[in-house]
A and B are shown apart, each in its own frame.
Chain A
Amino acid sequence: MNISQIPLQVEALIPEITLTGFASLILLAGLLKLKNEVLVWSSVLFLVIFAFFIPSFEGEAFNGMFLNDFLTIYLKLIIIIGTIISLLVLTSYLKEKLIRFNESIAFILFSALGMMLLVSARELISFFLSFELMSLSIYVLVGIRRYDVKSNEAAVKYFMLGGFSSAIMLFGIAFIYGATNTTELSLILKIISNYNPLILIGLGLFIVGLCFKIALVPFHMWAPDVYEGAPTPVTAFISTLPKVAILGAFGRVLVEIFRDYYIDWSNFLIVLSIATMAAGNFFALIQKNIKRMLAYSSIAHAGYIIIGVIVGTQSGFNSVVAYMFIYTLMNIGAFAMVIAFNEESIENYKGLHKFHPALAMAMLIFMFSLTGVPPTAGFIVKFNIFLQAVKAGFTWLVVIAVIFTVISAYYYLKIVMYMYMKEPVKLPEPIYSRELEVAILICTIGVTFLGILPLFLI
């Protein structure tokens, strides 16, 4: 068949193309010496409009290599909402630290573009390429404070390990290609039913690459250092959205394409899940720096989330997506509080309620939501995952998960306790800005409102 005869069907790809154009414009806008607020608010405005139009681009492109169905649109909306909040959070920080706006915004947008392509990719090469687009932009973002040693260290560390994991994943893709002679997922699905050890090896490497990126134990070593070293808004961004995209994409591939190998990968992931919940929660208990604590907490959360993938059903995967939505809100919210308080040491959170009752209240909501106490949305989505797990017969795994939830309550409550029940040790010097307040407000309202009326979550 002559290649030029294949209809391209690029309609479904229009949002991504638009976003590429806009991100490039933002990059060029640095030449124009625009005001920073103009850049931020125009990007936010663009993304809001963008979010409204995305649902209308359902369909396929490039002969099914690019898919835009209900689930991917849902994931893309999470990514866009997360990006909007991240941009708002980023603003006050950039202003404070005098970092150039246009680059940061452009890289956030490029990274979001990578994520959107990733969740839509139905072919392993484009899968890998979008994965790399996302990752490379993030490496740059981590090192955006060019004169800060910690930030640089984090960037290099992240880059090295990230590159390493990408290579492993690529190796896995190569194995799968070797066994099936194709990189198209729909074709792989047809071939895969006869058991082939090559596919198993490929799948194993593929999953290891995934585990690196979402920081499942024992592939989590980079996460606390990178999360601590990166500028806080970037930490908020990289601890949430890449996980949304990767779990959204990989989880779907595992559940839909590799279901014949379900026993193999689910057993592997069960072990990782338990190890992740254990290590994440126990290490979080002893942290003195709140960013490190939140890093370990987000590792632990990956352990809960992966249970939804382990279940191996469509509804299980939906619960993963819902969890990620709320996780994005509450985790970015918590990091936004860290920026607002301008304080990294947990000790210095003592008595903050006295000075900033409203901020402390928001932090309290995020902490209880991260613990998973009703009536916050954190409970609803956690419940959803446990529900699917019990439905599939993983009651014992749920028992383990709830026990780790109780352990996690200790370190989340510690923050609440410090803020409300201790006497202040230090006068806080908070960073206030309209953008930050808007971001915190969105997260707070989302977490409480969706906890009481769980729309869009189930």
Chain B
Amino acid sequence: MHEEVIARNSNNFELKKYLLISFLLIILVGSVILVSGIAANNLSFPILSTLIFFPVAGATLIAIIPRDKEELIKFSALIISIVEFIFSIPLYISFNKTTSQMQFKEEHLWIPEWGIKYYLGVDGISILFILLSSLLTILCVTVSWKEIDRKIKEFYAALLITHSAMIGVFMSLDIFLFYIFWEAMLIPMYLIIGIWGGPRRIYSAIKFFLYTFIGSVLMLVGILVLYFHTGTSDILSLMKNSYPYKMQLWLFWAFFAAFAVKVPMWPVHTWLPDAHTEAPTAGSVILAGVLIKMGAYGFLRFNLPMFPEATLAMKPFMMILSVIAIIYGALICLIQKDLKRLIAYSSVSHMGFVTLGIFALNQQGIQGGIIQMLNHGVVTGALFLCIGIVYQRTHTRQIAHYGGVATVMPAYSAFFMIFTLASIGLPGTNGFIGEFLILLGTFKAWKLMCILAATALIIGAAYMLWLYQRVFFEKTNPEFLQHIHGYSDLNSREIVTLLPLVLVVLWIGFYPNALLSFMDVSVKELINHVTQSVGAMK
């Protein structure tokens, strides 16, 4: 009797599945047509606004779907995220790589009394993050398929809104709009960590919120001062302005407060291990993949071009902080007992490389920093996905509970290996490109720091390979076998989730120019701008 019900349900479910898949195909084909239409139309279409508001509309749609239609909710989220990704492809195709100007600009007056505009645009520095975010959002949806089992509706809505707010941050060309997106992102992320996270999720969520919030509000004061000094909130005109040195210092610190917390730089990094560890897999992926990149992006977009003198004065300090983060993060990784926590601390180390590269203030350093951000997004995102996949089977994250996984889950082990090597920075993977460029840039700027940072590469190899050894090799842990009971290797959904990231890892690893060419001109322009304005002031 019971089985009958199940059979009937599954029949029903199959039918629905086919219906949904066909629906999905229709939407896909439709959007491909739309995309080609947009591309042919030379992009007079407000593509950036579409990218921001489509997921919001999607989240609203999901909110309307009745709570018990879980499959429908999941499929809608998947379709929405895929369509969103397809929408972002024209950006990649028709982006003009030969100019450092903002592209796909949209400008509307929003609050006329204050001269605040709804002003969007992307350049070589920001465009890739939008693509990365769109890609990771799809993977977040698929990886959460089974993991998220309560308040499904809210979860996918929050995920899509987070994505919107994050790409909004990268697109904003108005400092006020930037702040709105910057803060709006906190609400869904707070909920994602706090509702669907692990055992200490509430503590982590509040810690995450308060840390980020205090940084942001100090930046808000900075924004207000900036706004009154210049009378405009347009980021591009703010960059062209020059500010008195003392003011630059104050503003540098105000913005530093927000960005350093977000990156996170040592010593304000403590929210990150907690948030990463306790967040659900999708939350960790979003956090590691895109969210913490907003901090480094902020340094590139605000601190460097707007306060060049202060940046130059603070360069040694920032580089020292970065190197501390690199070495400290790596050392802490060696003693971690928790899989996710280890990867979280490795993020601190890797983001240290990013800020090190940025504050080396030369072409290689900054390009390396941006590449490293993308790499870290892909690789750490992938590692979190992998951990999420195995956690779902075993419900433990303790390294000691694993061992000999390679014999039980060979395909999984292969995937994990690729990402481990990418994380270490093996040539041929994307990790190598970023770290190499950063070290090159740092060597030019400050040799000692380069040498210190390079030592962390060895520690990095040590903790990642040791982790791999303990989890995948050695004797099969009976406890693990007990937990894994009834499960097997990766299923097709999981392979589809991980495969794109493997491709990206290898693609960037062998052909970094695919990404470097995007940012070449923009970074050159940025460095010119910094050196020129410093020169002009002297």
Contact = CB atoms under 8 A, between A and B. Distances in A.
A405 B217 contact: yes
Given A383-B220, A403-B214, A420 B111 contact: no
Contacts of B225: 390, 395
A417 B201 CA distance: 10
A422 B201 CA distance: 11
A402 B218 contact: yes
A15 interface: no
Contacts of A405: 217
Contacts of A386: 220-221, 224
Give the size range of B's interface with the partner.
20 to 34
B206 A410 contact: yes
A33 B227 CA distance: 60
A413 B207 CA distance: 11
B205 interface: yes
A421 B209 CA distance: 15
B183 A399 contact: no
Contacts of A454: 111
Interface stretch (B189-197, B329-337, B387-395, B513-521): B189-197
Interface stretch (A206-214, A295-303, A373-381, A425-433): A373-381
Given A373-B183, A373-B186, A421-B195, A390 B224 contact: yes
Given A368-B187, A420-B191, A420-B195, A398 B206 contact: no
Given A417-B194, A420-B194, A390 B184 contact: no
Contacts of B111: 454, 458
Contacts of A458: 111, 113-114
Given A379-B183, A458-B111, A399 B195 contact: no
A405 B220 CA distance: 12
B18 interface: no
Nearest to A398: B221
A28 interface: no
A406 B218 CA distance: 10
Interface string B170-188: 0000000001100110110
B205 A374 contact: no
Nearest to A391: B228
Q: Which residue, of B180, B217, B225, has the highest number of chain A Cβ atoms within 10 A?
A: B217
Nearest to A392: B228
A409 interface: yes
A421 B218 contact: no
A387 interface: yes
A402 B179 contact: no
A147 B113 CA distance: 52
Taking chain B's interface residues, is the majority helix, strand, or loop, or is none over half, making it mixed? helix
Contacts of B218: 399, 402
Interface string B235-252: 000000000000000000
A104 B206 CA distance: 41
B495 interface: no
B213 interface: yes
Interface string A387-421: 10011000100110011011001100100110011
B292 interface: no
A374 B179 contact: yes
A417 B200 CA distance: 13
Contacts of B217: 402-403, 405-406
Contacts of B179: 374
Contacts of B180: 374-375, 379
B228 to A, nearest CB: 5
Contacts of B154: 357
A386 B220 CA distance: 9
Given A373-B186, A379-B183, A409 B210 contact: yes
B224 A398 contact: yes
B202 interface: yes
B205 A375 contact: no
Contacts of A395: 221, 224-225
Nearest to A451: B180
B202 A417 contact: yes
A388 to B, nearest CB: 10
A362 to B, nearest CB: 13
Contacts of B186: 373
B187 A406 contact: no
Interface residues of A, number: 29
A406 B213 CA distance: 6
A382 B225 CA distance: 16
Contacts of A403: 214, 217
Nearest to B215: A406
B70 to A, nearest CB: 15
Contact of B210 (A374, A390, A410): A410
Given A386-B221, A395-B225, A399-B218, A421 B205 contact: yes
Contacts of A353: 151
Contacts of A402: 217-218, 220-221
B78 to A, nearest CB: 23
Interface string B370-384: 000000000000000
Contacts of A375: 180, 184
Interface in B47-106: none
Contacts of A409: 209-210, 213
Interface in A27-44: none
A416 B188 CA distance: 12
Nearest to A414: B206
Nearest to A404: B217
B14 to A, nearest CB: 30
Nearest to B224: A390
A399 B221 contact: yes
A410 B218 CA distance: 17
Q: Which residue, of B180, B186, B195, has the highest number of chain A Cβ atoms within 10 A?
A: B180
B209 A413 contact: yes
A385 to B, nearest CB: 11
Contacts of A383: 220
Contacts of B228: 390-391
A383 B179 CA distance: 11
B229 to A, nearest CB: 10
B30 to A, nearest CB: 29
A373 B187 contact: yes
Given A402-B221, A409-B209, A410-B206, A421 B183 contact: no
Contacts of A398: 221, 224
A406 B219 CA distance: 13
Contacts of B114: 387, 458
Contact of A417 (B184, B205, B220, B224): B205
A248 B187 CA distance: 32
A379 B213 CA distance: 13
B166 to A, nearest CB: 14
A422 B206 CA distance: 14
A395 B151 CA distance: 43
A387 B224 contact: yes
Contacts of B227: 387, 390
Nearest to B180: A374
A374 B183 contact: yes
A56 to B, nearest CB: 25
A306 B201 CA distance: 37
7 contacts: A357-B154, A375-B180, A379-B183, A386-B220, A387-B114, A391-B228, A403-B214
Given A374-B184, A379-B183, A458-B111, 5 more contacts: A373-B187, A390-B221, A410-B210, A416-B191, A420-B191
Interface of B: 111, 113-114, 151, 154, 179-180, 183-184, 186-187, 190-191, 194-195, 201-202, 205-206, 209-210, 213-214, 217-218, 220-221, 224-225, 227-228
- Across chains A and B, which 7 residue pairs bring their CB atoms closest together, nearest first? A402-B217, A390-B224, A374-B180, A458-B113, A406-B214, A421-B194, A374-B183
